[in-house]
Amino acid sequence: MLTLDPATLVGSDYADGSIYSNPDLYDMEMERIFMNTWIWVAHRSQLSEPGSFITTFVGPHPVIVSRDRKGDVHVVLNRCRHRGATVCEHKSGKASSFVCPYHGWAYGLDGALRSVPYQDGYSGQLDKAAYPLVRLRVEEYNGLIFATFNQHISSLDTWLGRARLWIDLFMKQGAGWPVKTMGEHRFTFPGNWKIQLENTTDAYHFPVVHKSFLDSVDSETQNIFDFVEGSGFVEDLGHGHSVMVMIPELVDLEANLEIPIPERFQYLADELSKDYPPEQVRRIVRAVGGSGFNLNLFPNLACSMAFFRVLRPLGVNQTEVRHIAIGMDGGPDIANEARLRLHEHFQGPMGFGTPDDSEAWDRVQRGSLAGRDIAILLNRGLGREARRESGNLFGDVSAETGMRAAYRQWLAAMTDTSFSGDAEA
């Protein structure tokens, strides 16, 4: 095999088309990115009580995320230490232990090996303490639970850095209640994971790809979504993270609540007014509409307006995307139902938005196979970038600033053989 040098494929404002289809590069990404940085695995509400668990993936690796009796969260590889079978095939549930179906090895929620049938066959030589389910490192920020194989990289707080402020803003969609997940759409598209990663801070495509969605909403909503030439911005938050603010007045959902309630939510406000004071009605209705920004967290999570978008690479040309609906845990049913209907309208495989996104990504994958040594352009908005006092680089809302940030981190991770590269803007 020729030596593959990722640095020859990605520049500061372009990438070679082969980054979407080179299988060796993909294998390298799985090692150097997905096994060496913080990967989002769950939201706190998915593990609401002791014994709750979900099964998911860190890159290609199946894992179990669970909450033990003491309330601690564990992420362990879903792989029996004996012969490698998965020990749990349920998507979620409650358990006190995980028992391998093959030979009956039983593990606690924290991964400890508790019992082995017919132990005499090991002549007293099996040290159970030496064979727990393999544990990943776990840290949590504001309900978002991340895991990593790498025991040496900096803390999650350090990794998220300047993105934390935006996570806090995003969680205001609880309108005072905790945020909870409310089901998810899952779909695959025949393309590379980075195509979806790029899309999250791509305002440029919105009025082009999502014409049919815009046709299906009222004129007031159309105006809100007419942001490409508006005053929004894309900001590089470091470590490959970025935020795209589409609707500046909806950055802080608790600010300027005196703005008139959109007509499409008037029915909701009227109904809520029967049970809640005016100020709280405004706060709930505002939360239902979602945040005015997409926060893209490298490499696999987006806090995207009103839902979590999670990507999982399945292969160099196959990606799974999850759109997780969120709502107010303990909030009014009517408000949460309104959020579900909004989610169904745009998101998921039968939404009015997602299938068109999927079509565009599918076509990037197929088109990018044409020819050799042809660049994918990432240079939009370069001439209009500036720096905030914080040092953050930002561009206009349709600038490709977020993609450039992600590829800078990609390059750092892919070329730093110590596997702990952090890219700063």
Distance CA 53, CA 43 (A): 11
Element (H, E) at 344: helix 333-346
User: For residues 185 and 282, which CB has a smaller minimum distance to another protein in the complex?
Assistant: 185
Q: Is 261 in the site for another protein (CB under 8 A)?
A: no
Q: Is 212 in the site for another protein (CB under 8 A)?
A: yes
- Identify the CA nearest to 358 among candidates 230, 228, 214, 205: 205
Distance CA 231, CA 237 (A): 19
Structure tokens at 87: 């020990």
Q: How many residues bind another protein (CB under 8 A)?
A: 35
DSSP-derived 3-state class of residue 23: helix
Least Å from the CB of residue 190 to another protein = 8
With CB under 8 A as the contact rule, which of the stretches 31-39, 149-157, 289-297, 333-341 interacts with another protein? 333-341
Least Å from the CB of residue 390 to another protein = 37
Q: Is 345 in the site for another protein (CB under 8 A)?
A: yes
User: For residues 184 and 422, which CB has a smaller minimum distance to another protein in the complex?
Assistant: 184
With CB under 8 A as the contact rule, which of the stretches 106-114, 143-151, 209-217, 285-293 interacts with another protein? 209-217
With CB under 8 A as the contact rule, which of the stretches 57-65, 334-342, 376-384, 404-412 interacts with another protein? 334-342
Rg over alpha carbons for the chain, rounded to the nearest Å, is: 23
Handedness of CA 189, 193, 195, 197 (dihedral sign): positive
User: Which amino acid, one-letter code, is at 414?
Assistant: M
Least Å from the CB of residue 22 to another protein = 23
Residue 412 burial (C-beta neighbours within 10 Å; 0-12, 13-18, 19+) = middle
Q: How far is CA 49 from CA 57, 71, 231, in A?
A: 21, 8, 43
Give residues 135-194 in contact with another protein (rule: CB under 8 A).
182-189
With CB under 8 A as the contact rule, which of the stretches 66-74, 270-278, 347-355, 394-402 interacts with another protein? 347-355
User: For residues 75 and 182, which CB has a smaller minimum distance to another protein in the complex?
Assistant: 182
Distance CA 20, CA 270 (A): 49
User: For residues 343 and 404, which CB has a smaller minimum distance to another protein in the complex?
Assistant: 343
Give residues 214-233 in contact with another protein (rule: CB under 8 A).
215-216
Least Å from the CB of residue 149 to another protein = 24
β partners of residue 52 = 94
- Out of 4, 255, 259, 340, which residue is the one contacting another protein (CB under 8 A)? 340
Least Å from the CB of residue 339 to another protein = 9
Residue 54 burial (C-beta neighbours within 10 Å; 0-12, 13-18, 19+) = buried
- Out of 13, 31, 252, 337, which residue is the one contacting another protein (CB under 8 A)? 337
Least Å from the CB of residue 33 to another protein = 21
List the end-to-end C-alpha distance of the chain, in Å, as a whole number: 33
Locate the DSSP E strands across 255-340: 293-297, 301-304, 307-315, 318-328
User: For residues 311 and 378, which CB has a smaller minimum distance to another protein in the complex?
Assistant: 311
Binding mask 85-124 for another protein (x = CB under 8 A): ------x---------------------------------
Distance CA 271, CA 320 (A): 38
- Identify the CA nearest to 406 among candidates 324, 322, 321, 311: 311
User: For residues 291 and 336, which CB has a smaller minimum distance to another protein in the complex?
Assistant: 336
Least Å from the CB of residue 206 to another protein = 13
Least Å from the CB of residue 357 to another protein = 9
With CB under 8 A as the contact rule, which of the stretches 150-158, 163-171, 296-304, 350-358 interacts with another protein? 350-358
Widest Cα–Cα separation across the chain: 76
Q: Is 355 in the site for another protein (CB under 8 A)?
A: yes
With CB under 8 A as the contact rule, which of the stretches 11-19, 344-352, 396-404, 410-418 interacts with another protein? 344-352
Please identify which residue in the block is written with the tokens 């564990």. Answer: 74
- Identify the CA nearest to 313 among candidates 365, 261, 277: 365
Q: Is 412 in the site for another protein (CB under 8 A)?
A: no
Exposure string over 147-165, b if 16+ CB within 10 A, otherwise e:
bbbeeebeebeebbbbbbe
Element (H, E) at 270: helix 266-272
Which residues of this protein are in contact with another protein, per CB under 8 A?
91, 182-189, 209, 211-212, 215-216, 320, 325, 333, 336-337, 340-341, 343-345, 348-350, 352, 354-356, 358-360, 362
